[in-house]
Structure 1
Amino acid sequence: MNPQDRTRTGWSWWYLLFLIQFVAVLWPPFFNKAEPSWIGMPFFYWYQLAWIIVGAILTAIVYFATDD
């Protein structure tokens, strides 16, 4: 089967990685605390900043895994 003959279904199991990002940053009781602090920054802030990097990595994984 040629790669050009494949039909695109529009959904892939790789998209579930986006769910990890959503749950991790949209559920405040999970990260609504001040300790542990890192370089003087409360947990709430560095947790959100860390998810920017993790989110970019997960988005790149999904992009390259689902790229035709």
Structure 2
Amino acid sequence: MIIALCLVAPFVAMLWVGSYAKTDPTFIGIPFFYWYQMLWVPISTALTMLAYQLWKRDQRARKGANGGAVK
């Protein structure tokens, strides 16, 4: 469930355009509309990495619980 949330969050944030379709506040002269989207690039990367690490940990736990056989 946490893995799915990590992967879905960036899509929801980017598809909900009404939440960031404005110019203020600006950041170093860049309107909010643009810097908000640019901010999601590293956030999406971090969430994807977290989801992958959680998935790997889950796979190792399943492998250990099943005596080496992954179902």
Which structure 1 residue ranges, 4+ long, deviate > 3 Å from structure 2? Answer: none
Aligned position for 1:4: none
Q: Distance in 2 between matches of 1:39 and 1:24?
A: 22
**Does residue 61 of structure 1 match 2:50?**
yes
**Does residue 29 of structure 1 match 2:28?**
no
How far is 1:27 from its partner?
A: 1.1
With normalisation by structure 1, the TM-score equals: 0.77
- Which AA in structure 1 matches 2:49? A
| Structure 1, unaligned runs of 5 or more | 1-12
With normalisation by structure 2, the TM-score equals: 0.74
Aligned position for 1:19: 8
Q: Distance in 1 between matches of 2:45 and 2:6?
A: 11
Percent sequence identity over aligned pairs: 38
Aligned length: 56
Aligned position for 1:5: none
Task: Decide which structure has greater helix share.
Answer: 2
